[in-house]
Each structure stands twice: as C-alpha cells, then as structure tokens.
Structure 1
Amino acid sequence: MARCEICGKTTIFINKVSHSHRVTSKRQKANLQKVRAIVNGEKKRIWVCTKCLKAGKVQKAI
C-alpha cells in the first residue's frame, strides 16, 4: 500500500451512509503524487501527499 514518505499518510476506511441510513465500509485513499525530490543530497522518486507538497516540506529536483 502506498504511503507518503514525509508524513506517513495512507488509506483510511470510513463509513458510507446512504439515504436510508444503510452503512457500508468505504476505502478513501490519500492524494499521493510521485515526485522527483532531493533526499540526502541525491535525486529520488518518492510518493508525497499533496498536503506536504503545498506546505513546502519537499524540495523538488529539477
């Protein structure tokens, strides 16, 4: 299962509730992007969630 390399965000399971209030389990995936980033001085492709990208926690490689 993919997860964010920075914060560890991954898939969560929630309850989907219909109009008649029937409850079923639903899988909600994190919005992960594969990004070329600088990690320990070298360029690597890592999975990063969009929240970490927008916060500037990742230094993108050119």
Structure 2
Amino acid sequence: MAVCSVCGKGVHSGMKVSHSHIRTKRTWKPNLQSVRAIVNGSPKRISVCTRCLRSGKVQRAI
C-alpha cells in the first residue's frame, strides 16, 4: 500500500471535474521513494515521501 513509513501520508481520493462539470473519481498518490535508512540502529529499506526526505526526518544509510 502507498503509505510513507515516517509520517503516514497515504492516498487521498476526490473528484476530477471537467470543464463541462462532469465529475469522475480519482486518487492522489504520495511521491514515495524507496531508500535505505537507519531504523533502530540498522539499515533497512523503507518507502518515504519526498517531503520527509527533504526536511531531514530520515537518516539515510550509506
């Protein structure tokens, strides 16, 4: 499932509205990246949203 391991950001749903106001369902998915990060002292591969990566909430493993 598309959920960030750090902040829990997930899929949102809503309506796509055309110019003629025809409404259809659509989803917005978070921009998740698979990174190796330090989790509990050991490197682990987790999926993290780019906002958490950019703000420095994740310590990446080298």
Interval of TM-score (by shorter of Structure 1 and Structure 2): over 0.9
Aligned residues: 62
Structure 2 spans left out of the alignment, 5+ residues? none
Identity among equivalent pairs (%): 61
Structure 1 spans left out of the alignment, 5+ residues? none
Secondary structure in 1 matching 2:47? strand
The TM-score, its normalising length taken from structure 2, stands at 0.96
The TM-score, its normalising length taken from structure 1, stands at 0.96
Amino acid at match of 2:53: L
Point out 4+ residue stretches in structure 1 off by more than 2 angstroms.
none
CA RMSD of aligned residues (A): 0.6
The equivalent of 1:54 in structure 2 is 54
Secondary structure in 1 matching 2:52? helix
Matched residues in 1 for 2:53 and 2:13: separation?
Answer: 23
